Amino acid sequence: MEIGKLFDAIPASLPDEISECLLRSGSLRVECIVSKGQHSAPGFWDA
């Protein structure tokens, strides 16, 4: 396990949303998601 600052690896230019899993345990997952307002593709959230 590596401990660091959450925002150290974020590039100055962010053309796409980025996500990183911070913690995973059984059915629990904690992610860091960084976006500058990018839109999800049409239908992405449809079940």
Full-model pTM? 0.56
> What's the mean pLDDT in 33-47?
82
pLDDT of 3 > 80? The answer is: no
- Amino acid identity of residue 3, one-letter, is I
- Amino acid identity of residue 34, one-letter, is V
- Amino acid identity of residue 23, one-letter, is L
Higher pLDDT, 24 or 34: 24
> What's the mean pLDDT in 2-19?
81
Task: Retrieve residue 7's tokens.
Answer: 């925002």
14: three-class secondary structure by DSSP: coil
d(CA 45, CA 40): 8
Contacts of 36 (CB under 8 A, 6+ apart): 14
